[in-house]
C-alpha cells in the first residue's frame, strides 16, 4: 500500500495547476535524490479547468481547427504541454486527475500505469452501468469499440514520466459541454466521436458523487492510503 496525499483543487486555471504539478513533481524527484531510494511519496490531484485546449509534445498543432480570435470568442485558452498524446479539451463538468506517482515505489511500469489509469475509469463507469473498454492503438477509455460509426471516447489520457515519476493524467467527461470538441480533432482522430456521462444518460449527473467513485477506484486499483493536506489557494 502506498501513502498518497490527495487534494481536490476545485476549478483552477490550467497553467496554475500545471505549475503546481511541476512543483510536486520536483519534490518527489528531490526526495529520491536525497535518499538514493524510491521516494515512497506521491500526490493525487483532482480538479476542473476553465475552457482550455492542450496539445501534447508529439501532437500536431493543426488539430486545433480555430483561430486565436475565435478562441477568445469562446472564452478558451490554448497551451502546448510536455505530456504525451495529441490535442484535447478541458472544461467545466470534466474531472481532471493528476497523479504524481513514483512508479518504482508502486512496482509498476509506465505501460502498466497507463493501463491502471484506464481501468479506474472503466471501474467507475461500471458502477453506473456503462460498459467501456480500450481501443487498440489509442489510449483512453471508449464506448462501443468495434461498432463502426459509434466508437466514442469518454476519457482522454496523456502523461509525462521522468525517472519513473509521473505527472499530467486523465480527463473524464461527466457533465462536459461537448460542443467544444467540435473545434479540434480530439486526440488527433477525425473519425471518432466523444461523449460524456451526461450525454449517455440524457441528464446531468451528480458530479461530486462521480468524483467520489473515481477516487474509490484509484484507491482500489493502486492500493492507496490517502492522507489530507492543506489545499493551496489559487486565484484564477
Above 90 in pLDDT, residue 185? no
187 labelled catalytic: yes
Rounded to the nearest integer, the mean pLDDT of the chain is 88
Above 80 in pLDDT, residue 36? no
Largest distance between two CA atoms of the chain = 53
Look up residue 22 and give its three cell numbers: 511541476
Domain count for the chain: 1
Nearest to 130 by CA among 202, 181, 54, 231: 202
> 483543487: which residue's cell?
9
> What are the DSSP calls for 201-213, one per residue?
HTS---HHHHHHH
- The answer to whether 135 touches 145, Cβ cutoff 8 Å, is yes
Report the first-to-last Cα separation within the chain, whole angstroms. Answer: 35
CATH of residue 191's domain is 3.30.930.10
Q: What is the mean pLDDT of residues 82-99?
A: 90
Q: What is the mean pLDDT of residues 191-197?
A: 85
Q: Which domain holds residue 27?
A: 2-227
Q: Is 185 helix (H, G, I), strand (E, B) or coil?
A: coil
Residue 232 lies in a domain: no
Residue 233 lies in a domain: no
> What are the DSSP calls for 121-147, one per residue?
HHHHHHHTT---EEETTEEEEEESTTS
Residue 22 lies in a domain: yes
Which residue in the list 76, 154, 171, 187 is annotated as catalytic?
A: 187
Residue 236 lies in a domain: no
- The answer to whether 159 touches 83, Cβ cutoff 8 Å, is yes
Residue 37 lies in a domain: yes
What pTM value is reported for the model?
Answer: 0.90
Above 70 in pLDDT, residue 188? no
Q: Is 4 helix (H, G, I), strand (E, B) or coil?
A: strand
Q: How far is CA 127 from the centre of its chain?
A: 19
| Count of all residues that appear for the chain in the document | 236
Residue 234 lies in a domain: no
pLDDT tens, position by position, 15-24? 999 999 999 9
Amino acid at each position: 500500500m502506498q501513502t498518497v496525499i490527495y487534494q481536490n483543487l476545485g476549478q483552477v486555471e490550467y497553467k496554475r495547476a500545471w505549475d503546481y504539478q511541476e512543483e510536486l513533481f520536483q519534490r518527489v524527484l528531490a526526495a529520491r535524490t536525497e535518499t538514493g531510494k524510491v521516494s515512497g511519496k506521491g500526490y493525487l490531484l483532482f480538479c476542473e479547468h476553465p475552457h482550455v485546449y492542450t496539445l501534447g509534445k508529439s501532437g500536431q498543432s493543426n488539430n486545433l481547427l480555430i483561430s486565436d480570435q475565435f478562441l477568445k470568442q469562446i472564452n478558451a485558452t490554448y497551451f502546448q504541454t510536455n505530456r504525451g498524446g495529441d490535442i484535447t479539451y478541458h472544461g467545466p463538468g470534466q474531472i481532471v486527475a493528476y497523479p504524481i506517482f513514483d512508479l518504482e515505489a508502486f512496482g509498476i511500469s509506465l505501460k502498466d500505469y497507463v493501463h491502471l489509469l484506464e481501468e479506474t475509469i472503466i471501474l467507475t463507469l461500471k458502477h453506473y452501468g456503462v460498459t467501456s473498454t480500450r481501443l487498440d492503438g489509442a489510449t483512453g477509455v471508449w464506448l462501443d469499440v468495434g461498432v463502426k460509426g459509434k466508437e466514442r471516447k469518454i476519457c482522454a489520457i496523456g502523461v509525462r514520466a521522468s525517472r519513473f515519476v509521473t505527472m499530467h493524467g486523465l480527463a473524464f467527461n461527466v457533465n462536459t459541454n461537448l460542443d467544444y470538441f467540435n473545434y479540434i480533432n480530439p486526440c488527433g482522430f477525425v473519425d471518432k466521436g466523444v461523449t460524456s456521462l451526461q450525454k449517455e444518460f440524457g441528464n446531468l449527473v451528480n458530479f461530486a458523487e462521480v468524483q467520489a467513485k473515481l477516487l474509490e477506484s484509484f484507491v482500489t486499483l493502486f492500493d492507496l492510503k490517502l492522507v489530507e493536506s492543506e489545499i493551496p489557494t489559487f486565484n484564477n
